[in-house]
Amino acid sequence: MNNGTCINLGTTYSCFCPSGYTGSSCEQIINPCTSNPCQTGTCYSTGTSYVCVCDASHTGQLCQTPLNPCLSYPCLNNQTCLSGGTNLSYTCLCALPYTGQRCSSTILPCTTVICLNGGTCLQTTLSASQCLCPAGYSGTYCQTVLNPCQSQPCFNNGTCLSTINNTFICVCLPNYTGTYCEQYNPCINSTCLNGGTCAISSSTIGGQICLCPSAYTGPTCAIPISPCSSAPCVNNGACLTIPGTVNFTCICTPAYTGVFCEMYVNPCVNYSCGNGGTCYRTASGTPICSCLPTFTGAQV
């Protein structure tokens, strides 16, 4: 049976069975999995042959070849796979900005960077960041305090002094002024008289001008201003100046009064002449009575 070969032995016979069969007449099928041909995995008979179904960590006809778990490229984003101690285990070596078991997650670089002193983190690439530092600070993390005088901001040999909040002031030499000592000070060699004050002026020759007090004028405040030059006193009043000021006093004639001698003084207002007499003002400003012919006396 089963394509066996019969051998005549005279009064008897013997069957020579093909591979996979046995028995006196080759009637029995030999189980090919009995010899455990599969090194790992499971053997399945297919008649006279067999098939090895391998476990996840092996391959080959007899499941004799271990599999490398990294051959399937389990690590994402082109990261590096390292095979573990078993044929099924592996480790992904993730480079920044990637993380996770398979390097599938992205770490934003600014989530791990702390910018100091009010600095702001700026993501420049997928994996890189930079701290934008406020004025007065420098360094990778804005950790370095800058010296505002390092840039030598003061001109004309002015001295730079660092102040709070990373600012500075320039202490200028006598001949210069300005925030940066950039402006020449023409008042150093200028003389303003009589209490005048020198001021810098871009519109005048020499770049300076004298601010004079009210009683003086002129380029150096040397010329006194006379309040009497306008003849403020009327009715022959005499004008007298008060030195160092623009004030004046009017000395009035007897017949007048007032600041400017503008008011006529009538001496007869409170001076009465009796018996029909008439009051007149004398040249000296005093009252006098002119009496009728039959009367006489100062105030008859």
Confidence band, pLDDT 50/70/90 cuts, at residue 237: very high
Helix (H, G, I), strand (E, B) or coil at 47: coil
Give the model confidence (pLDDT) of 56-80 as tens digits: 778 889 998 888 888 878 899 999 9
- Say what percent of the chain tops pLDDT 90: 31
Q: Which of 18-22, 39-43, 161-165, 267-271 has the lowest mean pLDDT?
A: 18-22
The pLDDT of residue 164 is 75
The pLDDT of residue 10 is 77
From residue 106, give the alpha-carbon distance in Å to each of 73, 77, 100, 111, 285: 18, 10, 9, 11, 113
Mean pLDDT of 142-163: 89
Confidence band, pLDDT 50/70/90 cuts, at residue 109: confident
Most confidently predicted of 23-27, 36-40, 108-112: 36-40
Residues in a beta bridge with 279: 289
- Mean pLDDT score across all residues of the chain: 86
Half-sphere exposure of 177 (CA within 13 A, CB side): 8
Report the C-alpha gap between 68 and 65 in whole angstroms.
10
Mean pLDDT of 201-227: 86
Q: Please say if the pLDDT value at position 6 is more than 80.
A: yes
> Which segments of 155-227 are extended strands (E)?
159-162, 168-171, 176-177, 183-184, 197-200, 208-211, 216-217, 223-224
The number of residues in the chain equals: 300
Report the C-alpha gap between 188 and 201 in whole angstroms.
14
Comparison of pLDDT for 76 and 109, the residue scoring more:
76
The pLDDT of residue 247 is 86
